[in-house]
């Protein structure tokens, strides 16, 4: 999501631009994600303040049954993208003086929102997305999707890790009777 902001940088402090965005977000670690929304930009003494209101539709898998689903995220953020120091002051600056964590406008006056959107997406995404709230998940023995019906596994079979505990429980039940 690149924006040429050369005109906005050359204008005075307080100058604004608004952009309606619609398209696809491409990042290295995820499949393409559809997005739409509005981006407002305002010139500040240090660069450009970006206010973003984006709806992002990302492909996911249900954390219980592994079925594919689309999750809609509403991302709202406000970040200042700093202009290169030589654009602000006319003087070159050592690399050590630049904050490496800040969002920057490059030397060609291009503002790239991709990394900011990626970071806010990661912060707002569900850690365990579900296809529906009552998803039954997969059978731990045979892997059948329990949303599509019961599996044919032996329900009385006890996991060997719990066998000793189940035996103790059986003794307690026998002792009470």
Give the model's pLDDT for residue 111: 94
CB 97 within 8 A of CB 69: no
The vertex-30 CA angle with 17 and 24, nearest 5°, equals 35
Average pLDDT per block of 10 residues along the chain, 177 residues long: 90 93 85 92 93 93 93 94 69 51 87 92 90 91 88 75 79 47
Phi–psi pair at 127, nearest 5 degrees = -70, -35
Residues sharing a CB contact under 8 Å with residue 9, sequence separation 6 or more, in sequence order: 43, 47, 48, 83, 87, 105, 109
Give the model's pLDDT for residue 42: 96
In angstroms, the CA 48 to CA 66 distance is 42
Q: Which residues of 63-96 are buried (b: 16+ CB within 10 A; e: fewer)?
A: ebbebebeeebebebebebbbbeeeeeeeeeeee
Sign of CA dihedral 104, 106, 110, 115: negative
Residues pairing with 41 in the sheet = 17, 50
The answer to whether the predicted template modeling score (pTM) of the entire model surpasses 0.75 is no
Residues sharing a CB contact under 8 Å with residue 31, sequence separation 6 or more, in sequence order: 59
Give the model's pLDDT for residue 172: 52
Sign of CA dihedral 67, 68, 70, 75: positive
């Amino acid at each position: 999501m690149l924006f040429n902001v050369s005109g906005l940088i050359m204008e005075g402090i307080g100058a604004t631009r608004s952009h309606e965005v619609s398209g696809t977000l491409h990042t290295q670690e995820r499949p393409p994600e559809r997005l739409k929304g509005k981006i407002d930009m305002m010139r500040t003494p240090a660069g450009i303040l970006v206010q973003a209101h984006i709806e992002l539709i990302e492909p996911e898998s249900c954390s219980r049954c592994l079925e594919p689903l689309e999750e809609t995220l509403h991302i709202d953020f406000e970040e200042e993208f700093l202009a290169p120091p030589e654009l602000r002051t006319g003087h070159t600056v050592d690399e050590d003086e630049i904050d490496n964590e800040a969002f920057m406008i490059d030397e060609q006056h291009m503002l790239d929102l991709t990394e900011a959107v990626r970071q806010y997406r990661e912060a707002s995404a569900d850690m365990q997305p579900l296809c529906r709230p009552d998803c039954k998940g997969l059978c731990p023995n045979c892997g059948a999707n329990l949303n599509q019906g019961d599996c044919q596994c032996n329900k009385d079979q006890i996991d060997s890790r719990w066998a000793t505990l189940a035996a103790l429980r059986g003794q307690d039940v026998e002792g009470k009777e």
